Homo-oligomer: A and B are copies of this chain.
Amino acid sequence: MQMVTDACRADYNAARLAEFAERCHRDGLAVTPQRLAIIRALLASADHPRAEAVYNAVRREHPHISLATVHRTLETLCRIGEARKVTALHDSARYDGNTAPHHHVVCIGCRRIRDIEIPGVERLLDGRNELGEFRLIGCALEVHALCAQCQRRRNHRRQKIKGNN
């Protein structure tokens, strides 16, 4: 287990930026100055910013950009796989009365959550209680999945799209 340093991201970021226009075209998206500025700001920051933080960064070059555009664009970037969210469960607080150690499987379609037990997860951190400047407390594994219902839904949608061709 080790921290990912800023240094090793420089090349990665340059490569990602170089590919960006091509990827937008592949997905049928226009390469707008706003989108370029937002992906640049996102790649440049190692701190997993919120929309507001990206907005503040981008505004230095594009003082007229709208916060709504930043929200929209970040969602678009996630949809085409150029960005992701740190957790799939940010939309509202989910509470758990089970305080015993366990982990969760989350349906990325409908946000259904179920408990799972996974032996060995704690062991991943074992022996360490520090990492860089951080004092470690515990960990939670979020297993991403599709529930039966959302699997069906996606299949139906795919078939509809096929039919429209």
Residues of A within 8 A of B (CB): 1-4, 9, 12-13, 16, 39, 42-43, 45-52, 54, 74, 77-78, 81-87, 89-100, 102, 104-105, 107-108, 112-121, 124-125, 131-148, 151
Partner pick for A92 among B3, B45, B90, B124, CB 8 A cutoff: B90
Using Cβ atoms and an 8 Å threshold, which residues of chain B touch A85? 93-96
A138–B105 CA distance with the chains assembled, in angstroms: 10
Using Cβ atoms and an 8 Å threshold, which residues of chain B touch A136? 105, 143-145
> What are the 6 A-B residue pairs with the smallest beta carbon separation, nearest first?
A4-B115, A134-B145, A42-B97, A133-B148, A48-B113, A86-B94
Contact A83 B54 (CB under 8 A): no
Q: How many copies of this chain?
A: 2
Contact B48 A96 (CB under 8 A): yes
Using Cβ atoms and an 8 Å threshold, which residues of chain B touch A99? 16, 81-84
Contact B104 A86 (CB under 8 A): yes
A49–B84 CA distance with the chains assembled, in angstroms: 24
Contact B143 A94 (CB under 8 A): no
Partner pick for A137 among B87, B102, B137, B146, CB 8 A cutoff: B146
Using Cβ atoms and an 8 Å threshold, which residues of chain B touch A97? 13, 16, 39, 42-43, 45, 82-83
Which of A45, A46, A96 lies at the interface centre, i.e. has the most chain B CB atoms within 10 A of its CB? Answer: A96
A93–B92 CA distance with the chains assembled, in angstroms: 10
Contact B4 A117 (CB under 8 A): yes
